Amino acid sequence: MGFRGCILMLLLLMITSHDYNASMAFHMSKSNWSCPRIKVKCNSKEPSTCSRNRDCRSPEKCCLLNCGKHCLSPSNDPCTESLKTKPCSSPLNRWYFSTTKNRCVPLNSGVCPEGRNNFQAFDICKKTCLAFGHGEPAKQYKLGNKPFTVMA
């Protein structure tokens, strides 16, 4: 069996498997991006909406975000998500990223956040949103002609 025969056999196996569409979508769109790597110290674990990539719709991946795992796509930026709140009796001390101020700001008391643009602490908000290209880095230097950032 030549090269073409092997390719035809592989395609036949994929078509007969019940996960054909999911496996094709996974290989075509999920493999060319990765979750942002954000190292933060969490005060407590947040509820997760996924545990592995298979739990998410293509092209989303199950990524660690704000001390829990959530489905994210390459264009799914939690820091640009509009702030959603609801009134509550025991508000939490939370932070959100303000796109108009280009920085993390505390939530007003008396409201509880909803959505992904809410963070346990200022540091978590800052590091997450810096990873998505928002906010001001602690220090920015140039090495040759290329800028690099030093996180505080």
Return the top range by mean pLDDT from 68-72, 82-86, 114-118: 68-72
* CA-closest candidate to residue 136, choices 120, 152, 118: 152
Report if pTM > 0.85.
no
Question: Which residue's entry shows tokens 């545990």?
Answer: 51
Domains contained in the chain, CATH given = 35-150 (4.10.410.10)
pLDDT at 110: 77
Question: Which residue's entry shows tokens 């719709």?
Answer: 57
CA distances (Å), origin 110, targets 55, 56, 92, 97, 103: 34, 33, 9, 18, 21
